[in-house]
Copies of this chain bind each other. A is one copy, B any other.
């Protein structure tokens, strides 16, 4: 694990939003950081987030962590077949959710629960999806954690890695064609940058310069493999963007202010017609890859504690303390959220889990293939006895 070329808080400059890519090539090798280890903010990326907004972000992060932990527990209890968490990465989704506009669109991976929660999705709805129960708005079509929410501008998550990337670029191309003042935000994992889709996305972004933010979440691991397997000889993932002539930033993903500053900058840029931005968010996958994974087979157990960028929740709490939101207040908030999650989970379990309660009908399986069920599916549905 390398977090190459760590810059200290406040060191990275903040260019004008109409800056040209060649002028900031160095920023793909640096690291935009605002908060230092004592929770003090530095430099041009500080921004002006108020305590209320910060507490809202903290709320989302607490919610995500409690939600993840609860769902992992449910998986261990055999109540769902699968669970994927985002411990340690919560800042990225929680913060970007507050930056993006009402009509912007997020193209997520399976590790952006904090984005969806940050946009206002009810955890209960997400639990129903995890349990694939009768109240699952996904109607049982997808494995646990592959949420969808057009209401909250969150594309249905694909089980196929990176496929959302060219779609995000296409969505942004459409925005540009229509003249809509909207921006696409696409997330991709470090490992998934190796997929073909990433190249198509960056090539089309480079050619058509639509309003899109390409966010690479470098959480240090794919499944068992270190981020280096995808990064290869390059020093950073932000560097990929340079190859396409796109402005590329590397950002401390566990630093709420840095994430906020960089994403706002990129969004302003996109809205002003200056085109795409590539951002590598450096973070750490604190959880196992999924409930099917055993990380002790490939990394030291205490590695997260040693991670130089720390835990985003701890860091935000420290900063908030400096802003007058006390540790006790934070603890109370955390506890209140845990209770809320526990209560929602009871509600969800009461509706049903993978092996209790009713499930969405097989009828949906037939109905969701085409807009109108064609004759062969009507017949098969009948054969299936429903």
Q: Which residue of B lies closest to A236 (CB)?
A: B245
Contact of A245 among B194, B204, B239 (CB under 8 A): B239
**Nearest Cβ in chain B — how far from A352, in angstroms?**
41
Cα separation A198 to B243 with both chains bound (whole Å): 13
Contact of A243 among B194, B204, B244 (CB under 8 A): B244
Cα separation A196 to B207 with both chains bound (whole Å): 16
Number of copies: 2
Could you say which residues of chain B place their CB within 8 Å of the CB of A344?
A: none
Answer whether residue A21 sits at the interface, using C-beta atoms and an 8 A cutoff: yes
Quick check: B21 and A233 within 8 Å, CB to CB? Answer: yes
Answer whether residue A377 sits at the interface, using C-beta atoms and an 8 A cutoff: no
Answer whether residue A156 sits at the interface, using C-beta atoms and an 8 A cutoff: no
Quick check: A207 and B235 within 8 Å, CB to CB? Answer: no
Answer whether residue A22 sits at the interface, using C-beta atoms and an 8 A cutoff: yes
Instruction: Give the residues from 207 to 235 in chain A that come closer than 8 angstroms, CB to CB, to chain B.
Output: 207-209, 229-235
Cα separation A245 to B228 with both chains bound (whole Å): 12
Answer whether residue A70 sits at the interface, using C-beta atoms and an 8 A cutoff: no
Answer whether residue A203 sits at the interface, using C-beta atoms and an 8 A cutoff: yes
**Nearest Cβ in chain B — how far from A272, in angstroms?**
16
One digit per residue, 1 when the CB lies within 8 angstroms of any chain B CB and 0 when it does not, for chain A 244-286 equals 1110000000000000000000000000000100000000000
Answer whether residue A200 sits at the interface, using C-beta atoms and an 8 A cutoff: yes
One digit per residue, 1 when the CB lies within 8 angstroms of any chain B CB and 0 when it does not, for chain A 15-58 equals 00000011001000000000000000000000000000000000
Contact of A242 among B196, B199, B243 (CB under 8 A): B243
**Nearest Cβ in chain B — how far from A17, in angstroms?**
16
Contact of A199 among B196, B208, B234, B239 (CB under 8 A): B196
Answer whether residue A206 sits at the interface, using C-beta atoms and an 8 A cutoff: yes
Could you say which residues of chain B place their CB within 8 Å of the CB of A85?
A: none
Quick check: A239 and B242 within 8 Å, CB to CB? Answer: yes
- What would 6 more interface pairs be, CB under 8 Å, given A196-B200, A207-B233, A208-B232? A194-B203, A207-B229, A209-B232, A232-B244, A235-B245, A241-B243
Which A residues fall within an 8 A CB radius of B? 21-22, 25, 194, 196, 198-200, 203-209, 229-235, 239-246, 275
Q: List 12 A-B contacts (CB under 8 A).
A: A21-B233, A25-B25, A194-B200, A196-B196, A199-B199, A203-B230, A209-B232, A232-B244, A239-B242, A239-B244, A240-B244, A243-B244
8 closest pairs, A vs B, by CB? A243-B243, A206-B232, A199-B199, A196-B196, A234-B245, A233-B245, A207-B232, A240-B243
